[in-house]
Structures are given as structure tokens and as C-alpha cells.
Structure 1
Amino acid sequence: MGTLDDWVAAACAELGLDPSTAEVPVVLDLARDVAHQVLRPGAPVTAYLLGIAVGRGADPAQAAGRLAALARSWPPPDGPAASDDAA
């Protein structure tokens, strides 16, 4: 994951964050669960919501676990195109 590591380091530097606090595997797993179980555009939105929760003091792994469990329990989309809807 060289490019991803480089990006995370650069993004953290830009935002004044410590890269060692970036929970990259946790966020990627959560994004995968949401994209596959709920809706592809829901993945970045959910990652953003996770960031807000963590910024307000939530434990990253615990919050991501709760969201992943919610995504896994989400009812399947109505049709094959539903996973590509942007709204």
C-alpha cells in the first residue's frame, strides 16, 4: 500500500494530524461493508460520519464496528442498479 501510505501521510500533514492515529484498515473495512451491503456512494459518506464521531470522542474501532454491523444488517437493494445510485 505504498501510494495509500504516502497519501495518508500527506493528507495528515496537510490537516495537522498524526498519521499514526489514522485507522486506515478500520476505515477501509467499514467502507467495503457499506459499499457492498448498502450503497457504493454510502462508503465515503459513512467514513465522513465516522470521522465526525471520532472527532467528538468516539473510539474509532468501536464506532466502525457498530456501523459495519448496521451495514451488514441492512436490507438488500431493490435491484442491480441500486448499488450505483448516487442519491
Structure 2
Amino acid sequence: MTVMDDWVTAACAELGLDPTAVPVPAVLDLAKDVAHQVLRPGAPVSAYLLGLAVGRGAEPSAAAARLSALAATWPVELGADPADPAAS
């Protein structure tokens, strides 16, 4: 097991959730896509939004893919340098 596996197992136990139902790779990919293509603080907020959607019945991997696709098309602000940490 990895530290991530241990964390997810412990967090799920704390919240009464099934750790096998947590699509860790999809959540991590979503966070990466939003952090790199939109803005860094948007990653945890997007993960929360994904959780809300899943709680309302959305299929986790499909909802994460939709948000990742949205991030891929998000326009970069004019004049912002994506390599500049102050820009995010």
C-alpha cells in the first residue's frame, strides 16, 4: 500500500465511505488539469465540486473527465504568464 492508499482508507473509515469507490486517479488527474490549466486554488475546489456531483448521482470518472475537458478549454487570461507562480 502507498501513503495515498493508507490516507484514503483512513479518511473513508472516518466518513463511513467505501474506499474502493474512490476513483483516486481520476481525482488526481482532475486536480492536475485544473491547477495547470486554470489556476492552482481551483484544484481543491474542483475536487469538492466533483464530490458534490457524485453525491447527487453523477458517475465519478465521467464527471471528472467533463471537468478536465472544461479545464482544457479554459482561456488563459490576457497578459498572464502561465509559468509565473503569481499568475495562479
Taking structure 1 as the reference length, what is the TM-score of the superposition? 0.90
Structure 1 residue ranges without an equivalent (≥5): none
The residue that corresponds to 1:35 in the other structure is 35
How is 1:8-23 mapped onto 2 (pairs within 5 angstroms)? 8-23=8-23
Larger helix fraction of residues = 1
SS in 2 for 1:68: helix
The residue that corresponds to 2:60 in the other structure is 60
Aligned alpha-carbon RMSD (Å): 1.1
Specify which structure has the bigger relative contact order, considering alpha-carbon pairs within 8 angstroms and separated by 6 or more residues.
1
Superposed displacement of residue 19, structure 1: 0.4
Number of residue equivalences: 83
Identity %: 71
The residue that corresponds to 1:82 in the other structure is 87
Structure 2 residue ranges without an equivalent (≥5): none
Superposed displacement of residue 76, structure 1: 1.6
**Do structure 1's residue 26 and structure 2's residue 38 form an aligned pair?**
no
